[in-house]
């Protein structure tokens, strides 16, 4: 939803923010900053500096984002004409704070979903600029939303909700699935001799959904001497079963096949039946992870394990070989 605000409020916000801008044009912004100094405490001075820098670059960010707006004239979206509804205000989040910006919004004559060229062209993700979305989502991959909140508040003086962090991260993850990547950016195709494909999983108890499978996989590129050149990691949110992960991982593997056609593919996994069967249909060579059976068998000497006899014999042959 777009938030309507009065002209008076917009004008006051613009006056406050643009008062820091000395000069601006389409390619640059010049700001003037006044920073108070505390001669007794350096930490206090650093807090002043951070606040002053945030306040100074916030209007610069606002000005830069406004350059992606249109002039309000008729546009075409998916070969259909859209007319302007005028400039509607929206609150944006960026690394230095939040600001309001009036930008043109469009809609088809018969109604329906609105379209904002500025949001699309500037790659805005749920009211967030690309840099702030990157900051929040990358931190969220390494911890909880509360940890991200503490980090952003302590190091960037940014206070946002945990739900917003989760929403940004989810949208950024969906967007990344549509991006075509260079599957070995740090090595030339001629350098790659083989690719090792591995995966493993564990069970996680989700508070709302109960027990779910968390699966991760990797593709490791090696040269002729066996030195690792580069690694691509693939993972999905915990799910019931592994089907979603298998589909996304298979898609990644097919891209590797196209890029490194004719190169050797080697699968590495433990003795889990589903992982082994997935690799059987994907790679020509399989290597059993030694540590799994090596840790299980000594703990059960002479005891019957609840594993198919043929499968157990196959595992033992891999271990003893």
Query: In the predicted model, is pLDDT for residue 303 greater than 80?
Result: no
pLDDT of residue 105: 95
Q: What is the mean pLDDT of residues 13-37?
A: 69
Strand bridging mode 21-24 / 194-206: unpaired
Element (H, E) at 104: strand 97-107
Estimate to the nearest angstrom the gap between the alpha carbon of 67 and the chain centroid.
Answer: 25
- Sheet with 97-107: strands ordered across: 75-77, 80-94, 97-107
Query: In the predicted model, is pLDDT for residue 292 greater than 70?
Result: no
0.75 exceeded by the pTM?
Answer: no
Query: In the predicted model, is pLDDT for residue 124 greater than 90?
Result: yes
The pair phi, psi for residue 281, each rounded to 5°, is -85, 0
Query: In the predicted model, is pLDDT for residue 315 greater than 50?
Result: no
Q: What are the residues facing 29 on neighbouring strands?
A: 24
Query: How far is residue 34 from each of residues 5, 22, 40, 59, measured CA to CA in Å?
Result: 30, 13, 19, 15
- Sheet with 285-288: strands ordered across: 228-235, 210-222, 194-206, 264-269, 285-288
Tell me the pLDDT tens digit for each residue of 27-82: 888 887 778 887 788 988 888 888 888 888 898 899 999 999 999 999 988 888 99
Tokens 């260079």 identify what position?
Answer: 182
Tell me the pLDDT tens digit for each residue of 139-187: 998 888 999 999 999 999 899 999 999 999 888 888 877 765 655 555 5
């Amino acid at each position: 939803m777009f938030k309507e605000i009065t002209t008076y409020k917009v004008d006051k916000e613009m006056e406050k923010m643009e008062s820091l801008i000395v000069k601006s044009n389409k390619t640059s912004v010049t700001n003037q900053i006044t920073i108070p100094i505390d001669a007794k405490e350096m930490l206090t001075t650093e807090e002043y500096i951070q606040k002053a820098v945030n306040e100074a670059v916030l209007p610069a960010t606002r000005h830069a984002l406004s350059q992606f707006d249109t002039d309000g004239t008729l546009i075409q979206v998916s070969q259909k004409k859209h007319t302007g509804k005028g400039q509607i205000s929206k609150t944006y989040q960026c690394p230095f704070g939040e600001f309001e910006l009036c930008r043109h919004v469009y809609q088809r004559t018969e109604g329906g979903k609105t379209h904002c060229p500025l949001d699309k062209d500037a790659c805005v993700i749920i009211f967030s600029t690309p840099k702030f979305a990157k900051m929040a989502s990358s931190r969220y991959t390494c911890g909880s939303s509360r940890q991200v909140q503490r980090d952003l508040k302590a190091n960037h003086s940014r206070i946002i909700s945990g739900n917003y962090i989760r929403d940004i991260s989810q949208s950024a993850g969906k967007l990344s699935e549509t991006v075509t990547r260079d599957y070995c950016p740090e090595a030339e195709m001629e350098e790659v001799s083989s690719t090792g494909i591995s995966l493993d999983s564990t069970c996680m108890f989700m508070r709302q959904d109960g027990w779910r499978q968390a699966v991760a996989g990797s593709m490791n590129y090696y040269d002729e001497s066996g030195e690792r050149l580069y690694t691509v990691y693939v993972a999905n949110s915990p799910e019931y079963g592994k089907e979603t992960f298998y589909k996304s991982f298979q898609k990644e593997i097919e891209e590797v096949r196209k890029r490194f056609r004719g190169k050797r593919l080697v699968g590495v996994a433990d003795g889990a039946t589903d992982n082994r069967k997935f690799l059987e249909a994907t790679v020509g060579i399989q290597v059993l992870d030694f540590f799994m059976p090596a840790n299980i068998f000594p703990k059960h000497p002479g005891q019957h394990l609840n594993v198919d006899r043929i499968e157990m014999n196959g595992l033992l042959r891999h271990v003893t070989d």
